[in-house]
Amino acid sequence: MAATADPEAWLDSHGDALYAFAMMRVRNAAVAEDLVQETLLAALGALAGFDGRSSERTWLIGILKHKLIDHLRRAGREQTADTTSDDEAVWNARFDHTGHWAEPPRDWGDPARIAENDGLRQALAGCIARLPERQRLLFVLREVDGLDTDELLDTLGISSANNLWVMLSRARAALRECIERTWGGGGRR
Protein backbone atom coordinates (compact mmCIF):
# COMPACT_ATOMS: atom_id res chain seq x y z
CA MET A 1 0.00 0.00 0.00
CA ALA A 2 1.40 3.38 -0.96
CA ALA A 3 1.63 5.91 1.84
CA THR A 4 -0.28 9.13 1.49
CA ALA A 5 1.19 12.32 2.91
CA ASP A 6 -1.80 12.79 5.13
CA PRO A 7 -1.03 12.61 8.83
CA GLU A 8 -4.70 13.14 9.61
CA ALA A 9 -5.56 9.93 7.78
CA TRP A 10 -2.75 8.21 9.70
CA LEU A 11 -4.26 9.53 12.89
CA ASP A 12 -7.61 7.96 11.99
CA SER A 13 -6.19 4.63 10.84
CA HIS A 14 -3.33 4.11 13.27
CA GLY A 15 -3.72 6.67 16.07
CA ASP A 16 -5.13 4.22 18.60
CA ALA A 17 -2.56 1.54 17.78
CA LEU A 18 0.32 4.02 18.13
CA TYR A 19 -1.14 5.35 21.36
CA ALA A 20 -1.61 1.84 22.82
CA PHE A 21 1.96 0.96 21.82
CA ALA A 22 3.28 4.04 23.61
CA MET A 23 1.05 3.54 26.66
CA MET A 24 2.20 -0.06 27.11
CA ARG A 25 5.69 1.37 27.57
CA VAL A 26 5.32 4.80 29.21
CA ARG A 27 1.90 4.55 30.93
CA ASN A 28 1.50 8.31 30.91
CA ALA A 29 -1.27 9.69 28.69
CA ALA A 30 0.36 13.08 28.08
CA VAL A 31 3.74 11.57 27.19
CA ALA A 32 2.10 8.94 24.98
CA GLU A 33 0.13 11.64 23.15
CA ASP A 34 3.31 13.66 22.59
CA LEU A 35 5.07 10.58 21.23
CA VAL A 36 2.22 9.93 18.80
CA GLN A 37 2.41 13.53 17.63
CA GLU A 38 6.19 13.44 17.20
CA THR A 39 5.82 10.20 15.28
CA LEU A 40 3.23 11.51 12.83
CA LEU A 41 5.17 14.72 12.25
CA ALA A 42 8.39 12.80 11.72
CA ALA A 43 6.56 10.47 9.33
CA LEU A 44 5.36 13.45 7.32
CA GLY A 45 8.96 14.64 7.00
CA ALA A 46 10.30 11.18 6.23
CA LEU A 47 7.73 10.10 3.69
CA ALA A 48 10.43 9.70 1.04
CA GLY A 49 11.99 7.02 3.21
CA PHE A 50 8.87 4.88 3.14
CA ASP A 51 9.43 2.24 0.50
CA GLY A 52 6.06 0.55 0.79
CA ARG A 53 7.62 -2.82 1.54
CA SER A 54 6.27 -2.82 5.08
CA SER A 55 2.74 -1.82 5.96
CA GLU A 56 2.05 1.79 6.88
CA ARG A 57 1.33 0.64 10.45
CA THR A 58 4.69 -1.15 10.73
CA TRP A 59 6.50 1.86 9.34
CA LEU A 60 4.84 4.23 11.82
CA ILE A 61 5.47 1.86 14.76
CA GLY A 62 9.14 1.77 13.72
CA ILE A 63 9.33 5.56 13.89
CA LEU A 64 7.50 5.57 17.22
CA LYS A 65 9.99 3.05 18.62
CA HIS A 66 12.85 5.46 17.84
CA LYS A 67 10.97 8.38 19.39
CA LEU A 68 10.26 6.29 22.47
CA ILE A 69 13.88 5.25 22.90
CA ASP A 70 14.98 8.90 22.58
CA HIS A 71 12.43 9.87 25.20
CA LEU A 72 13.50 7.11 27.59
CA ARG A 73 17.17 7.91 27.14
CA ARG A 74 16.48 11.49 28.18
CA ALA A 75 14.25 10.44 31.08
CA GLY A 76 16.61 7.65 32.18
CA ARG A 77 19.07 10.09 33.63
CA GLU A 78 16.58 11.12 36.31
CA GLN A 79 15.77 7.61 37.42
CA THR A 80 15.97 6.15 40.92
CA ALA A 81 18.13 3.26 42.10
CA ASP A 82 18.07 0.11 39.98
CA THR A 83 17.98 -2.38 42.83
CA THR A 84 16.93 -2.12 46.44
CA SER A 85 17.10 -4.34 49.52
CA ASP A 86 13.27 -4.45 49.47
CA ASP A 87 13.41 -6.16 46.09
CA GLU A 88 15.84 -8.69 47.51
CA ALA A 89 13.46 -9.41 50.42
CA VAL A 90 10.58 -9.95 47.96
CA TRP A 91 12.75 -12.38 46.03
CA ASN A 92 13.81 -14.36 49.11
CA ALA A 93 10.22 -14.59 50.39
CA ARG A 94 9.50 -17.00 47.53
CA PHE A 95 11.67 -19.60 49.25
CA ASP A 96 11.68 -21.20 52.70
CA HIS A 97 14.66 -21.18 55.06
CA THR A 98 16.10 -24.29 53.38
CA GLY A 99 16.11 -22.51 49.99
CA HIS A 100 13.20 -24.55 48.58
CA TRP A 101 10.15 -23.04 46.87
CA ALA A 102 7.55 -21.83 49.37
CA GLU A 103 4.94 -22.23 46.62
CA PRO A 104 6.32 -24.41 43.81
CA PRO A 105 5.68 -23.36 40.19
CA ARG A 106 3.11 -25.37 38.24
CA ASP A 107 3.73 -27.37 35.12
CA TRP A 108 2.41 -25.20 32.26
CA GLY A 109 3.33 -27.79 29.66
CA ASP A 110 5.20 -27.28 26.40
CA PRO A 111 6.49 -23.65 26.22
CA ALA A 112 6.08 -23.30 22.44
CA ARG A 113 2.46 -24.44 22.61
CA ILE A 114 1.49 -22.50 25.70
CA ALA A 115 3.00 -19.30 24.24
CA GLU A 116 0.28 -19.36 21.56
CA ASN A 117 -2.48 -19.57 24.15
CA ASP A 118 -4.69 -16.45 24.06
CA GLY A 119 -5.47 -16.67 27.76
CA LEU A 120 -1.80 -16.73 28.64
CA ARG A 121 -1.02 -13.79 26.34
CA GLN A 122 -3.84 -11.75 27.85
CA ALA A 123 -2.68 -12.61 31.36
CA LEU A 124 0.86 -11.66 30.37
CA ALA A 125 -0.24 -8.29 28.97
CA GLY A 126 -2.30 -7.59 32.09
CA CYS A 127 0.56 -8.59 34.40
CA ILE A 128 3.08 -6.48 32.46
CA ALA A 129 0.89 -3.44 33.14
CA ARG A 130 1.13 -4.16 36.87
CA LEU A 131 4.92 -4.34 37.06
CA PRO A 132 6.81 -1.45 38.65
CA GLU A 133 7.87 1.17 36.07
CA ARG A 134 11.52 0.21 35.56
CA GLN A 135 10.89 -3.52 35.53
CA ARG A 136 8.02 -3.09 33.08
CA LEU A 137 10.06 -1.01 30.68
CA LEU A 138 13.01 -3.34 30.89
CA PHE A 139 10.90 -6.44 30.23
CA VAL A 140 8.97 -4.88 27.35
CA LEU A 141 12.04 -3.41 25.64
CA ARG A 142 13.90 -6.68 26.04
CA GLU A 143 11.28 -9.34 25.35
CA VAL A 144 8.65 -7.58 23.25
CA ASP A 145 10.85 -5.14 21.32
CA GLY A 146 14.02 -7.25 21.28
CA LEU A 147 16.60 -4.65 22.37
CA ASP A 148 20.00 -6.13 23.23
CA THR A 149 21.98 -5.63 26.44
CA ASP A 150 23.95 -2.58 25.28
CA GLU A 151 20.83 -0.86 23.98
CA LEU A 152 19.02 -1.55 27.25
CA LEU A 153 21.87 -0.19 29.40
CA ASP A 154 22.02 2.93 27.27
CA THR A 155 18.28 3.54 26.90
CA LEU A 156 17.38 3.00 30.55
CA GLY A 157 20.60 4.36 32.04
CA ILE A 158 21.22 1.16 34.01
CA SER A 159 24.63 1.25 35.66
CA SER A 160 25.90 -2.27 34.94
CA ALA A 161 25.09 -5.49 33.12
CA ASN A 162 24.88 -7.18 36.50
CA ASN A 163 22.12 -4.79 37.62
CA LEU A 164 20.34 -5.40 34.35
CA TRP A 165 20.35 -9.17 34.88
CA VAL A 166 19.05 -8.78 38.43
CA MET A 167 16.27 -6.41 37.33
CA LEU A 168 15.25 -8.67 34.45
CA SER A 169 15.16 -11.69 36.78
CA ARG A 170 12.88 -9.84 39.18
CA ALA A 171 10.56 -8.76 36.39
CA ARG A 172 10.32 -12.29 35.01
CA ALA A 173 9.76 -13.89 38.42
CA ALA A 174 7.06 -11.32 39.25
CA LEU A 175 5.33 -11.88 35.90
CA ARG A 176 5.39 -15.65 36.29
CA GLU A 177 3.83 -15.34 39.71
CA CYS A 178 1.17 -12.87 38.56
CA ILE A 179 0.26 -15.15 35.64
CA GLU A 180 -0.13 -18.18 37.91
CA ARG A 181 -2.45 -16.11 40.08
CA THR A 182 -4.58 -14.66 37.30
CA TRP A 183 -4.57 -17.28 34.55
CA GLY A 184 -6.75 -20.36 34.90
CA GLY A 185 -4.71 -22.38 32.41
CA GLY A 186 -1.53 -24.34 32.89
CA GLY A 187 -1.22 -27.77 34.32
CA ARG A 188 -0.97 -29.41 37.68
CA ARG A 189 1.34 -28.51 40.50
Partner 1 sequence: MIDCNEATRLNASAPERPLTLGERISLTLHLALCPPCRYFRRQMAALRAAARGLEADAVPKPPVLEDAARERLRERLRAARDDT
Please tell me the distance from the alpha carbon of residue 72 to that of residue 127, in angstroms, as a whole number: 21
Minimum CB distance to partner 1 smaller for 85 or for 98: 98
- Compute the distance between CA of residue 110 and CA of residue 48 in angstroms, rounded to an integer: 45
Choosing from 4, 20, 62, 133, the residue that interacts with partner 1 (CB under 8 A) is: 20
Question: CB-wise, 80 or 111, nearer to partner 1?
Answer: 111
Site string for partner 1, 122-141 (x = CB under 8 A): x-xxx-xx---------xx-
Tell me which of 55, 58, 115, 159 binds partner 1, using CB under 8 A. Answer: 115
Binding string, residues 76-95; x marks residues near partner 1 by CB under 8 A = ---------------xx-xx
Size of the site for partner 1 (CB under 8 A): 66
Single out the residue of 115, 105, 99, 88 nearest to residue 181, CA to CA.
Answer: 105
Show contacts with partner 1 in window 35-54 (CB under 8 A): 36-37, 40-41, 44
52 φ, ψ to 5°? 75, 0
Could you tell me the sign of the dihedral formed by the alpha carbons of 83, 85, 86, 87, in that order? positive
Look at residues 186, 178, 100 and name the one whose alpha carbon lies nearest to residue 132.
Answer: 178
In angstroms, give the least distance from the CB of 76 to partner 1: 19
The helix/strand count (H/E) of the chain reads as 9, 0
Least Å from the CB of residue 100 to partner 1: 5
Residue 101, phi then psi, degrees to nearest 5: -55, 130
Indicate whether 181 belongs to the interface with partner 1 (CB under 8 A).
Answer: no
CB burial of residue 23 (10 Å; 0-12, 13-18, 19+): middle
Q: For binding to partner 1 (CB under 8 A), which residues are involved?
A: 7-8, 11, 15-17, 19-21, 23-24, 29, 32-33, 36-37, 40-41, 44, 91-92, 94-95, 98-101, 104-108, 110-112, 114-117, 120-122, 124-126, 128-129, 139-140, 142-144, 146, 149, 161, 164-166, 168-170, 172-173, 175-176, 179
